[in-house]
Amino acid sequence: MQKIIDRFISYVTIDTESDPNSETTPSTAKQWDLANKLVDELKAMGMQDVTIDENAYIMATLPSNVDHQVPTIGFVSHFDTTPDFTGKDVNPQIIENYDGKDIVLNAEQNIILSPNYFEDLLLYKGQTLITTDGTTLLGADDKAGITEIMTAMEHLINHPEIKHGKIRVGFTPDEEIGRGAHKFDVAKFGADWAYTMDGSQIGELEYENFNAAGAKVTFKGKSVHPGYAKGKMINSMLLASQFIAKLPENEVPERTTDYEGFFHVHHLNGSIEESSVELIIRDHDKEKFEARKKSIYTIADEFNKQYQQQFGEAICEVVIKDQYYNMKEKVTPVFHIVEIAEKAMKELGIEPLIKPIRGGTDGSQLSYKGLPCPNIFAGGHNFHGKYEYVPLESMIKATEVIVKIAELTAKK
């Protein structure tokens, strides 16, 4: 238990925040700090074929210890943290034997992690929680996953009596900005299938995710002295707000669940002359996903028609880029890989929670690149913010699931 705590803390205290505005890979130089550390640890524990490429993608091999043919499986996690909330100067707090009550993360700022708001906390009464100090995120997304993979590989190396086939390990940069699998060399990885250790609550097992796109809608305005503005000024900020008002008010993240899709406005910037709305578009159903994208263009066309009649020019421009697709299409034909993970959990006394991912995962893009890749829990909760925490026992169980999957795959 202490080894997992120490390993996890050694990872989360390294700042690896990614940057969506950077064009390099990794998007931030500081991601190399953890990447190089992981390479050194993999070599030190005895992993073979340890490599890191010019883009910081790490791969390593645990050779098979059985004399019969076994599929090569992989385990993948990402080492960057989200740019949505700071991951600098992370100061983890250890809460032993959690009593089910409020946890004071930061007394000075009155930041409280409360089960009255975060009900999942009560699932872990009596367990050891690792939390933030209320000023940063924790980084369990996805340094918990890395901790579990590293610990599982070390355990298998130290216990050769546990039989397994060839196992490949992969760690990626920039997952949090949607690029984690962009430069992942699936052929080099050489696995028949893999699992991302990047889920949340203990028991999560996911092979469905959103179809996803990002949209930027730009409005052009005209700045005129307000005293002489009638019939001449176009305030692009007001146009942007009108655009947002035309989106379905209940189809937003905070009002949807399960398979329900949404529009999520995450950035709004503006002046009279130019304003932009950035949003993400999500839906599990491909037809509904396409309809959502089409609706953005439709709203923009309405603006343009209105203002072309009034001012003789278009004032709205839309750029939509697909980000990833629902991996269900690629995983269902090889569904036994989900069943193996489900069986592993059941044999360890874990109740599998098979449900759709309301987000993205490297596994989606990897599946479409030819590496079917369901997602397994890593244990953390409340990712991307100061209320993030992870139960130690969940990380231990995730480590055991990796080992058990290796065992089950190696059976004749």
Q: How does DSSP classify residue 120? A: G
Q: Catalytic residues, which ones? A: 80, 175
CA–CA dist 66, 61 (Å, integer): 15
Cβ contact 154:45 at 8 Å: yes
Contacts of 96 (CB under 8 A, 6+ apart): 128
- Supply the DSSP symbol for 369: T
Same fold, 2-209+326-410 and 212-324: no
DSSP 8-state code for residue 25: S
CA distance 59 to 61: 7
Return the DSSP state at 381: B
Q: If 0-12 CB within 10 Å is exposed, 13-18 middle and 19+ buried, where does residue 166 land?
A: buried
Does residue 79 contact residue 172 with C-beta atoms inside 8 Å?
yes
Amino acid at 64: S
3-state helix, strand, coil in the chain (%, to 5): 35, 25, 40
Kindly give the pairing relationship between strand 48-52 and strand 167-172.
Answer: unpaired
Q: What is the pLDDT of residue 313?
A: 78
- Long-range interactions of 104-111: CB distance < 8 A, separation 24+: 105/131, 105/132, 105/133, 105/134, 105/386, 105/387, 106/133, 106/134, 106/135, 109/134, 109/135, 111/135, 111/386
CATH (one of 1.10.10.10, 3.30.70.260, 3.40.630.10, 3.40.50.1370) for 2-209+326-410: 3.40.630.10
Sort residue 76 into left (φ over 0), alpha (ψ -120 to 50) or beta: beta
What string of DSSP letters covers 271-312? -SSEEEEEEEEEESSHHHHHHHHHHHHHHHHHHHHHHHHHHS
CA 155, 159, 164, 167 torsion-angle sign? positive
pLDDT at 68: 95
Cβ neighbours around 369 below 10 Å, total: 16
DSSP string of 199-223, one letter each residue = E-STTEEE--B-EEEEEEEEEE-B-
221 near 239, Cβ under 8 Å? yes
- The tokens for 298 are 């439709």
pLDDT for 308: 80
* Every domain of the chain and the residues it spans: 2-209+326-410, 212-324
Work out the burial of residue 187: count CB atoms within 10 Å of its CB; fewer than 13 is exposed, 13-18 middle, 19 or more buried: exposed
In this structure, the number of other CB atoms found within 10 A of the CB of residue 9 comes to 17
Residue 222 phi, psi dihedral angles, 5° rounding: -130, 125
Peptide bond into 20 cis (omega under 30): no
Phi, psi (rounded to 5 degrees) for 272: -60, -40
* pLDDT tens sequence for the chain (412 residues): 899 999 999 999 999 999 999 999 999 999 999 999 999 999 999 999 999 999 999 999 999 999 999 999 999 999 999 999 999 999 999 999 999 999 999 999 999 999 999 999 999 999 999 999 999 999 999 999 999 999 999 999 999 999 999 999 999 999 999 899 999 999 999 999 999 999 999 999 999 999 999 999 999 988 999 999 998 888 999 999 999 999 999 999 999 999 999 999 999 999 999 999 999 999 999 999 999 999 999 999 998 998 887 767 789 999 999 988 999 999 999 999 999 999 999 999 999 999 898 877 789 999 999 999 999 999 999 999 999 999 999 999 999 999 999 999 999 7
Q: Does pTM surpass 0.85?
A: yes
| Sign for the pseudo-dihedral over CA of 203, 205, 211, 212 | positive
Supply the DSSP symbol for 43. H
The whole-number pLDDT of residue 25 equals 97
Q: For the domain bounded by 212-324, which CATH number is listed?
A: 3.30.70.360
Distance CA 90, CA 11 (A): 10
What does residue 25 show for φ and ψ, rounded to 5 degrees? -130, 115
